[in-house]
Amino acid sequence: MPSLNQIRTGLMESGIVAVIRTDTPEPIPEIVRALLRGGIRTIEVTLTVPGAVEVIRDLCLEWGEHALIGAGTVLDVEACERVVAAGAHFVVSPIARVSLVPIAREAGRVLMLGAYTPTEAQCVHESGADFVKVFPCDLLGASYIRSLRAPLPHLRIVPTGGVDLKTAPDFIRAGCAAVGVGSTLMPKAMVREARWEELSMLASEFRRVVAEARSGLLA
């Protein structure tokens, strides 16, 4: 198991958290293989997937040395304990569930808690969470993140919702630590039709636009 700092650094270096939310667990191994081929190595499986804890355990055993495998939609302490025991490198909640902080800290796992307002974002940060998941970000956009970080530049923000190939660079330029991408990276039709090569190409394109946005910040 990598250290807390290694997980945190790896997530930021990746720049993209692929959020897998499927109706059944069967396609997930192929999805993960396609994402890895496309260069995305930070992967979150939401607990809305049937049998998600077992899926996370299997992914950690198979890919844990090559990728960061996380658990999403973690809503309570019991669920957090289960995914940590399954080997998840990071834990994500869409809400400001600060009671998860001690569990993640004791286990040496990265924690990302949800927030929507400046007050929630700062409270999540002060609770000890590693990242602030601004969710849902569909209607907020990069301009909201820019405004949020103006008085609160210390926040490590990961927006989720409304992130696609066009908006991902805008979020990175606004100062986000990474972006969370779900259906725009893994469209349901693509998964249903098992178009894995196409998924790998799309993953590679997401990697490219995020990398170019970061390069522009350093120029």
Catalytic sites, residue numbers: 44, 133
For residue 108, the one-letter residue type is G
DSSP per residue over 134-198, as a string? E---TTTHHHHHHHHHTT-TT--EEEBSS--TTHHHHHHHTT-S-EEE-TTTS-HHHHHTT-HHH
Q: How far apart are CA 47 and CA 50, in angstroms?
A: 7
Cα dihedral sign for 175, 176, 179, 180? negative
